[in-house]
Amino acid sequence: MLKKLLLFVAGLTLCVSLFAENIGVAILPAIDRDNEVDRAYKFSIRQYIVTGITTVHGYEAYDRINLGTVLDEQKFQRDGMVKAADIKKIGEMTGAQYVLIIEVMLFPKNPDVILVSAQFEDVETARIIQSATSNVHVTDEELLEQECISLAQKLLGVSRNTRPSASVSTSTPTPTPKTSQQVVTVKTAPSGTSSSRQFDIGDEYSFPDGTRGIVFFKSDDGHGLVVSLDEGNNLKWDNNRRTTDIMDIENESEENIQTELYQFKTSWGRGYEQTNSILNELSENGAAANWCRSLGEGWYCPSAAELLYLFKVANKRGEIDEVLNSCGVKGFSGWYWSSSEYNRGEAWNLNNRGRLCSENKDEKISVRAVRAF
């Protein structure tokens, strides 16, 4: 069965209609930056996601998109980069209003599990309007199909408890006009007061205390994370001559951090407690953590996984950089401290391309604060 499926989908790039008003979505080949996922699995994952979308009543599928005329497919597979102009050209070439981008990564220590990330982007603005992630089990074809369909349902806002059917009109999500972006309403502001504010990734968010940041992550419950407009520079992680191993912070390996990234929807916010632990033990000698907290209560030094998400997911094509520049401040550049420890003498830092490195705590580098809302 799998071979027949591969013969059917090989060489095809599919389009589907995202909403019942025949709004088209071009589905690009699955990105595999590390080239570790079997090609058959990539094709199957994409096809099952398409199935999950098109089996909802009112949806159609299109095919035969010649991506080679728009972008370098090999480069696209290596870095997942699609310029805003390329996304617009795909829309013009296909008549699609949205592009679906799928990325796959092997799960650490378990080659039978693959992390799948998918997001809808508007072809005119290149902004993300909806995203979802899931861990799928590729050795069980039936389970793989169910998990990919569930991922598609999350993208469309359909209940995962009911498999969509083309014959059941009540399964169709409410059509969304092209001129408006899909947004989430914040039910409770950080101060505990009620707020009807709507936001999306890349939006500027103002807190009740007057501080501001840029949204780079949003969870299913309407909360998320912002990154500070400003950054601290030339700061040590630990100013002590003899560095301290923070008792309440577990030393982490790179593999641990990658696992946190794959489980980000449940692991985010860890940096807040780590920052508190640093300040409790180091006080004013925790220079990077102190700078973050100096912005106000609630601001903290992000964990390594939170920085990794910021640089490799939210800002992978420079989207957050552009927003920061539009606010009159500089984007990300160079290396940034996280609140995660590697050992007594070293802590984790990342560069703005998402590269992880353990560094001596007395090195002077930059830091950006984050805050939950």
* 130-139 tens-digit pLDDT: 788 888 998 8
Residue 43, pLDDT > 70, answer: yes
The per-residue pLDDT of the chain, averaged, comes to: 78
Write down the architecture of domain 2-171 according to CATH.
3-Layer(aba) Sandwich (3.40)
pLDDT digits (tens, 9 = 90+) for 77-100: 555 566 778 888 887 877 777 888
- Say which residue, 348 or 200, is predicted with more confidence: 348
Model pLDDT, residue 112: 85
* Of 103, 19, 29, 89, residue with least CA distance to 63: 29
Read off the tokens for 72.
């370098």
258: Cβ–Cβ under 8 A, 6 or more apart, which residues? 108, 308
Read off the pLDDT of each residue in 172-184 and give the average, rounded to a whole number.
32
Give the model's confidence band at 109: pLDDT under 50 very low, under 70 low, under 90 confident, else very high. Answer: low
Residues 6+ apart with CB under 8 A from 319: 126, 127, 128, 201, 202
Locate 188 and state its tokens: 């409770």
Whether the pLDDT of residue 45 is over 60: the answer is: yes
Please give the Cα distance from 373 to 224 (Å, whole number). Answer: 6
70 vs 264: CA distance, rounded Å: 32
- pLDDT given at position 3: 43
Average pLDDT over residues 130-152: 87
Let me know if 7 is exposed, middle or buried by CB neighbors in 10 A (0-12, 13-18, 19+). exposed
pLDDT higher than 70, residue 314: yes
Domain edges within the chain = 2-171, 184-372
- Is the pTM value of this prediction over 0.75? no
| Amino acid of residue 197 | R
Using an 8 Å Cβ cutoff, are 286 and 278 in contact? yes
Question: What pLDDT shows up at residue 78?
Answer: 54
